[in-house]
Amino acid sequence: MKILFFLMFSLLFPLVSLCQQESMSMDMGDSPKGDRLPFYQKIGGRAIYHLYIGDTSVNYSAKNRPALAINGTIPAPTLYFTEGDTAEIYVHNTMMMETSIHWHGLILPNRYDGVSYLTTTPIKMGETHYYTFPIVQNGTYWYHSHSMMQQQSGLYGAIIIHKRNEPPVKEYTLLLSDWTDENPDQVDRSLHNATDWYGIRKGSTQSYAEAIRAGHFKTKLTNEWKRMTAMDVSDVYYDRFLSNGKPENEAPQFKAGDKVKLRIINGSSSTYFWLKYAGSKLTVIANDGKDVEPVDVDRMIVGVSETYDVVVTIPDNKSYEFLATAEDRTKSTSLWLGTGKKVKSEPMPRLKYFEGMKMMNDMMKMDGSMNDMGMKMSLQQMDMNTVMYPEITGDVKPVKDTIIQTPKEIITLNYAMLRSPVKTTLPNIPAKVLHFNLSGNMNRYVWTIDNKTVSETDKILIKKGENVRIILYNGTMMRHPMHLHGHFFRLLNGQGDYSPLKSVVDIMPMETDTLEFAATESGDWFFHCHILYHMMSGMGRIFSYENSPANPEVPDPQAAMKKIYADDRKIHMAAKVGLESNGSDGEVMFANTRYQLQTEWRIGLNNKDGYESESHLGRYVGQMQWWFPYVGWDFRYRKMDGPEKDIFGHISDKDNRKVFCIGVEYTLPLLVKADARFDSDGKLRFQLMREDVPLSKRLRFNFMVNTDREYMAGLRYVVTKYFSVSSHYDSDMGLGAGVTLTY
């Protein structure tokens, strides 16, 4: 076998090195699968890997779904290195679209960081990209695509770096991830269109009927009064959560008495996981690849893109459940350690949503900002969600197969407990201090820093040799795992000189965290929220070292920046079409971070009813995006019985009407949209409208009334994501019933 490898390598080596010299890339598009180069070779200190990215299909829920894989597997194969090695990685793109690979947590030259356009040339279809860098660290890391939504489709794998001459221990790499049967681009579009379909699927709609049943009608009303829609700890509905690519996985090789080092990687696109183990406490010994002083906990949460090394014990010759539960607690994934009788971990009870809503109401001010009530929160020490945790606050309703738990002392890991075994102090020089306020708008799914997306800001210049300190405040109602490429930062957590080194900081709502790093690199480095859908909406910044040498991978930096900015400038489409017995009404919308173009229409079934259409192009103003000034145009045809007078006394007597208008829309408490507009006929119209009042889990109520003496009220019962049964009464068209299609 070794001889075969050697032969293959010696045959291919001249070819490979030739290609490297020319362009660092070669065309693999025509190579049949059989020609694939060996996955791994070790030649002296060189660790050489060949990764083939391609299309595949998976079946996690009795449906075949398209997915992406590396060397045919999800997760991608684990890359092993030894500290001091030189990594040489060839990434072959066999897909019909471009791709990239980012080596998460690795310290490497900027040009190999793998952020398409920013640091590294994207790998076009059929091409191969060569990465080489010295391995200057050890620990648990991972790699993933940094292009579009490819990570969600399966492009992620583990990187394990052993210390030189590290004594072998029993270890196991556990890569956690989330899987949706939906196309991730559709997930992204849905999130921007404020659909509550994912809430319906997760059972977290938080409707009025559910509120009344839970004795929380006032809580729900106050919540809408403060202009909030139902909120969950996570946004996306996932079909499965995966342990190394399987909902249930096993590691039967471990025996009684074994101490196993689990290398845990959260490679999910937007899921935090609670970790628990049935056999022993969890002894945390490393985080984000860096060793920490061992600390014993009962449970811990692992943020998106974080890694932890945790030692667990196999107490007996049985099979013990290592349980990773999604933060929203809808589903979980398990790894069974050992062989024999199964010992289950106690499942985490469902969240108490209305308790959480009540807490949010108390914290939210009428202007949409948060009242921190004088609490200084940081480092995950106070989890705002605790009110929603029945296992801590008690009051669990007995559910089939579970016992009522009594509240008990549960030791949960937080960042203040992480202590580096070695001093991590920076050079003793003044620091450049940056304040970042994490901001966002849940209703329109716009995620920002200081209310600006990546494309709305310039790069942040830093100087090689200086210290950079970042003070982060999270003013949103979600947690964000903020990741810095190419550097470790110290998280100032009260451990002084021994503050832990991290590359991701999970920051909870209303927390302030401080991190600092020595600027020792060069080039451009991305700092962003690692929730894929937040990053794509623009929640990030670029740190740029002043006077860096040109990056050969970015020959045209201006054109490259346009490509980077295109991510958060994306236009999302939405549509709603009602087909009812009295006619059709509907709307089509195109929107990005700030702008929206919208056309709505109504076509009566009777000729007499005629048709009308209104269009708006406007810009959302302010961080809360409650103001929406717009310009628009309308046309209508309706055979009138006589002149019509609006409540201001303005008379309309033309069957045909074409006007331009200017107007402004404002979101009032209870999420009612007030709209005032003035048209080229000199007519003023004022209108109030509310869509999708959640009466019950699936029933929605809509209404509209305006000064033209028009009004509408309707009900919609959501059957599937795209299909509802609906009925409405309209002052022009009368009563109708039928279906509504939503896209």
Q: Give the footprint of Cu ion on this chain (CB under 5 A).
A: 480, 529, 531, 534
Scored b (16 or more CB within 10 A) or e, 543-561 reads bbbeeeeebebbeeeeebb
Scored b (16 or more CB within 10 A) or e, 140-151 reads bbbbbbbbbbbb
Closest CB 479 distance from Cu ion, rounded Å: 7
Closest CB 415 distance from Cu ion, rounded Å: 17
Find the Cα–Cα–Cα–Cα dihedral 702, 695, 195, 447, rounded to 10°.
100
**21, containing H or E segment:** helix 2-23
Closest CB 266 distance from Cu ion, rounded Å: 14
Closest CB 476 distance from Cu ion, rounded Å: 8
**Is omega for the bond preceding 38 within 30 degrees of 0, making it cis?**
no
**Residues 120, 101: Cα–Cα separation, whole Å:** 9
| Amino acid making up residue 246 | K
Closer by beta carbon to Cu ion, 279 or else 509: 509
Tokens of 525: 């480095």
Q: Give the residue among 160, 379, 421, 425 at the shortest CA–CA distance from 294.
A: 421
Q: Show the beta-strand stretches assigned E in 84-155.
A: 86-93, 102-104, 128-134, 139-144
Closer by beta carbon to Cu ion, 491 or else 519: 491
β-pair type (259-266, 171-179): parallel
DSSP 443-501: TTTEEEETTB-GGGSPPEEE-TT-EEEEEEEE-SSS-EEEEETT--EEE-SS-GGGPPE
β-pair type (595-604, 611-619): antiparallel
Closer by beta carbon to Cu ion, 299 or else 530: 530
Closer by beta carbon to Cu ion, 237 or else 277: 237
Closest CB 518 distance from Cu ion, rounded Å: 26
**Residues 429, 736: Cα–Cα separation, whole Å:** 73
Closest CB 729 distance from Cu ion, rounded Å: 42
Closest CB 326 distance from Cu ion, rounded Å: 16
Closer by beta carbon to Cu ion, 151 or else 244: 151
Closer by beta carbon to Cu ion, 567 or else 634: 567
Closer by beta carbon to Cu ion, 314 or else 529: 529
Closer by beta carbon to Cu ion, 284 or else 491: 491
Q: Give the residue among 528, 483, 535, 506 at the shortest CA–CA distance from 300.
A: 506
Q: Give the residue among 716, 710, 719, 666 at the shortest CA–CA distance from 693.
A: 716
Closer by beta carbon to Cu ion, 76 or else 482: 482
Closest CB 626 distance from Cu ion, rounded Å: 22
CB-CB contact of 384 with 509 (8 Å):
yes
Backbone angles phi, psi at 148, to 5 degrees: 45, -135
Closest CB 742 distance from Cu ion, rounded Å: 26
Closer by beta carbon to Cu ion, 352 or else 480: 480
Closest CB 531 distance from Cu ion, rounded Å: 4
HEC profile of 528-564: EECCHHHHHHCCEEEEEECCCCCCCCCCCHHHHHHHH
